[in-house]
């Protein structure tokens, strides 16, 4: 049996969980998240716990069991604590500024890149060379962070580009002349 899927998800105080058919809605202090769950998985909400049960021990049901439980746990954590990704930029002239909800990135292109976050996501600019992306939906926060990083991925020779805070970039030695 799945070790992840077997564990129940505790519902903290201030969080309400509503299940209508296969649609799960979780409301909390940081927002509301909805997700359509796989129809084969049986989700039970009882006594302040959410349990996921599977119909059989087939390979697909075992994998869906753990996946469904993990998705529900991420939703509950997202509406209580939220998620955060931090990015840092290094390079000559690389900087970020915030104007309203939009973030304007100067990355050495002919024109600055404007990024407008989707609903529920907030992008902060604590310093001109760092960004912090916050939100309740783990997937959306990670997706926006990956899109921004993809604009200028870190390059291995000089280390310039956009990288996650704490990410190690393997540096290469430059060519040497004889």
Question: What values do phi and psi take at 82, rounded to 5?
Answer: 85, 170
Q: Which of 161, 165, 141 is nearest to 151 (CA)?
A: 161
Give pTM, 2 decimals. Answer: 0.88
Return the pLDDT at 3: 83
CB 123 within 8 A of CB 115: yes
Q: What pLDDT band is residue 4 in, cutting at 50, 70 and 90?
A: confident
Instruction: Please compute the mean of the pLDDT values over residues 109-136 and round it to a whole number.
Output: 95
Instruction: Please compute the mean of the pLDDT values over residues 78-95 and round it to a whole number.
Output: 94
53: number of CA atoms within 13 Å, CB side? 6
């Amino acid at each position: 049996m799945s070790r992840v899927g077997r564990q129940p998800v505790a519902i903290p105080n201030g969080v309400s969980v509503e299940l209508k058919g296969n649609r799960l809605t979780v409301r909390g202090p940081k927002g509301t998240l909805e997700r359509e769950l796989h129809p084969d998985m049986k989700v039970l909400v009882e006594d302040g716990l959410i349990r996921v049960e599977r119909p059989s021990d087939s390979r697909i049901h075992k994998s869906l069991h753990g996946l469904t439980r993990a998705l529900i746990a991420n939703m509950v954590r997202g509406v209580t604590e939220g998620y955060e990704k931090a990015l840092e930029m290094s390079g000559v002239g690389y900087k970020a500024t915030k104007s309203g909800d939009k973030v304007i990135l100067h990355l050495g292109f002919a024109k600055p890149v404007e990024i407008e976050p989707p609903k529920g996501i907030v992008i902060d600019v604590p310093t001109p060379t760092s960004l912090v992306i916050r939100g309740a939906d783990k997937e959306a926060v990670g997706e926006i962070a990956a899109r921004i990083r993809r604009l200028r991925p870190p390059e291995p020779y000089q280390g310039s580009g956009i990288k996650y805070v704490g990410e190690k970039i393997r540096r290469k030695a430059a060519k040497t002349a004889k």
